Amino acid sequence: MWKFRAKKKSDQWLIETNIDDMSAEMYGYVEEKLFEAGALDVFKTPIVMKKGRPAVKLSILAKSDEIDLVETIIFKETTAIGTRKYPVVKHKLDRVYETVETDLGPVTVKFAYHKGTLVNWKLEYEMCRKIAVQTGMPLKEVYQILETEIINRKGLK
């Protein structure tokens, strides 16, 4: 029989609830409240419950000392009548943020490494958005120009 053994005790928990009787407009407000309370992540998954009822699974990633507050928000701000909790073991890539000078101005790039090898990189949205607003260029064009420039300057693929 397979058994999972975590290397260390998890300080993060996934708290979930299924909701099938709440207006979709309310989820944005609930999400804001959860983030204000310290939630690390909040996401919604469409699901189908018994009798074919469409519903939403509300999932919140939080530190162990925030579970009570998260559950209080869930019960006060939603129509949920119960939650499930699971300890979470995460594996995060090493990340390096670097400001790169480009023809459109400085941009922050997040580089992600697995065992010392670059496996992913991404332009930071807020800086790209700022350039789009300042120049009047479409955001997707800003991304295309900057990605090409970063690839050429850094020798990336």
> Considering the domain boundaries, does residue 59 fall inside one?
yes
The answer to whether residues 83 and 32 belong to one domain is yes
The answer to whether residues 67 and 127 belong to one domain is no
Is-contact 59 14, C-beta < 8 A? yes
Residue 9 has pLDDT above 80, yes or no: no
Is-contact 27 56, C-beta < 8 A? yes
Question: What pLDDT is stored for residue 27 in this prediction?
Answer: 97
pLDDT tens per residue, range 31-48? 999 999 999 999 999 999
> Considering the domain boundaries, does residue 2 fall inside one?
no
Map tokens 């925030």 to a residue.
66
The answer to whether residues 17 and 72 belong to one domain is yes
- CATH at 107: 3.10.20.300
How much of the chain, in percent, has pLDDT values that exceed 70? Answer: 93
Question: What pLDDT is stored for residue 10 in this prediction?
Answer: 66
Q: Please tell me the total count of domains within the chain.
A: 2
155 pLDDT band, cuts 50/70/90, is confident
Question: What pLDDT is stored for residue 157 in this prediction?
Answer: 66
Q: Which of 65, 56, 67, 60 is nearest to 22 (CA)?
A: 56
The answer to whether residues 120 and 64 belong to one domain is no
- Return d(Cα 82, Cα 71) in angstroms, integer: 9
3-state SS, the chain, equals CCCCCCCCCCCEEEEEEEECCCCCCHHHHHHHHHHHCCCCEEEEEEEECHHHCEEEEEEEEEEHHHHHHHHHHHHHHCCCCCCEEEEECCCCCEEEEEEEEECCEEEEEEEEEECCEEEEEEECHHHHHHHHHHHCCCHHHHHHHHHHHHHHHHCCC
90 pLDDT band, cuts 50/70/90, is confident
Domain that holds residue 134: 94-154
The answer to whether residues 19 and 43 belong to one domain is yes
The whole-angstrom distance between residue 104's C-alpha and the CA centroid of its chain comes to: 27
> Considering the domain boundaries, does residue 6 fall inside one?
no
Question: What pLDDT is stored for residue 2 in this prediction?
Answer: 43
- For 36, half-sphere exposure in the C-beta direction (CA atoms, 13 angstrom radius) is 7
pLDDT tens per residue, range 104-143? 999 999 999 999 999 999 999 999 999 999 999 999 999 9
